Structure 1
Amino acid sequence: MTQFYFVRHGKTVINAEGRFNGGSVDSPLIPSGIAATKRMAQHLKTVSFDLALTSPQMRAQTTAKIVLEESLNPPALTIIEDLREMHLGDWDGKNIAQITAAYPEELKNYRTHPELFNAEKIHAEAYSSLIARSTKVIKEVTETHPTDKVLVVSHGILLMALLNTLKGVPLAKIRESGIVDNSSLTILNHSKDQMFFETWGQVF
């Protein structure tokens, strides 16, 4: 089986400011985000990764580099466009409280009824698109690296949608378990025929 180590990036300036941190915005990790990621890196330093994949966004790349700095013989970091965070269109970078006031119905569906979320209305990406591109990455890696340990560094909404979909959770319910924390680790053992999670959203 392929053993995936899914990591959500460390906490960023935009996270700390309470703004939407989607696929078209970026900001540096804050000190607490760096510290939390370094604690995770210490936990993972004995893991010999065969492959390391990251979203193209700098917050994910920075997180991946911190983790790999502690690894013995780390692989080169490979940037995968399909691991980019969900594009949130008109909401990206905007204050969450302001968006809550301006788009109450759309935000309710985004958070609690993803099957009803009208992405086109705010020029955003649909959940179905996010799920399709992220699950494609996992399927391809499982086929090409069937016995490897793979680091995957990405984002909160993407990981929430991807991991719940892999568990067999339907679209309407993918947000019920919440979003994994910044600098968290989820380990999945995955093959064509079976899968199981060793840990989910562990923080350090």
Structure 2
Amino acid sequence: MTQFYFVRHGKTEINAKGRFNGGTVDSPLIESGVEATKRMAQHLKDVPFDRVLTSPQMRAQTTAKIILAENIKAPELTIVEELRELRLGDWDGKKIDQITAAYPEEIKNYRTRPDLFDAEKIHAESYNSLITRSTKVIEEVTAAHPKEKVLVVSHGILLMALLNTLKGIPLAKIRESGIVDNSSLTILNHSKEQTVFETWGQTF
């Protein structure tokens, strides 16, 4: 089985300002985000990663570099476009409370019924697209590297959608368990036949 270490990036300026932090915006990690990631790095320093996959967005790359700076093996980063966060179109970078007031029905579906979310209405990417592209990455890595330890650094919505889909949860229900925290770790042992989670959303 391939052992995946899924990490959500550290907290960023956009997160702290209460804005949508999707696939077309980016900002630096804030101090608390750096410190939380450094604590995780200490926890993971003795894990001999075989490869490291990261979203192209700088907040994910920065998080990965903090972890690898403490790691005993520290392979080079591989940037994977398909690990980019869900593109939120007209909402990206906007204040969450303002969008909530302006798009009550769309926000409700976005947060509670992903199967009903009309992404085209706000020029966004659909949950189905996000799941298709992220799941493909994991299945390809699992097939090609069945005995490796792989660090994957990505984003809240992507990880929520991907990990719940791998658990077999249908699209309509993938948001029921919530989004993993910034600087959190989820460990998955995965093969074509099995999906076994060791930890889910652990913080440090």
Under TM normalisation by the shorter chain, which class is it?
Answer: over 0.9
Poorly superposed stretches of 4+, deviation over 3 Å = none
Counterpart for residue 27 of structure 1: 27
Query: Partner letter of residue 10 of structure 1?
Result: G
Q: Percent identity?
A: 80
Q: Secondary structure at the match of 1:146?
A: coil
- Corresponding position of 2:47: 47
1:120 is matched with which residue? 120
CA RMSD of aligned residues (A): 0.3
| Cα distance in 2 for residues equivalent to 1:195 and 1:102 | 40
Cα distance in 2 for partners of 1:25, 1:178 equals 22
**1:156 is matched with which residue?**
156
Indicate whether 1:7 and 2:10 are aligned: no
Which residue of 1 is the match for residue 181 of structure 2? Answer: 181
CA distance in 2, matches of 1:29, 1:140: 30
Which residue is equivalent to 1:136? 136
Query: Which residue of structure 2 lines up, in the alignment, with residue 110 of structure 1?
Result: 110
1:162-191 deviations in Å (ceiling 9; x for gaps): 000000000000000000000000000000
| One-letter amino acid matched to 1:196 | V
TM-score, length of structure 1 as denominator length: 1.00
Which position in structure 2 is the counterpart of 1:168? 168
Q: Kindly state the Cα deviation for residue 139 of structure 1 after the two structures are TM-superposed.
A: 0.3
Paired with 1:128 and 1:78, the residues of 2 have a C-alpha distance of 24
TM-score calculated relative to the size of structure 2: 1.00
- 1:97 paired with 2:81, answer no
Segments of structure 1 that go 5 or more residues without pairing to the other structure are none
1-structure distance, mates of 2:136, 2:108: 28
1:13-49 deviation per Cα after TM superposition (whole angstroms, max 9, x unaligned): 0000000000000000000000000000000000000
What SS is found at the alignment partner of 1:5?
strand
Structure 1 partner of 2:199: 199
Q: How many residues align?
A: 204
Counterparts of 1:127 and 1:45 in 2: how far apart (Å)? Answer: 34
AA matched with 2:64: A
Q: For residue 175 of structure 1, give the secondary structure of its aligned residue in structure 2.
A: coil
Please state whether the residue corresponding to 2:49 is helix, strand or coil.
coil
1:73 deviation in Å? 2.2
Q: Secondary structure at the match of 2:59?
A: helix
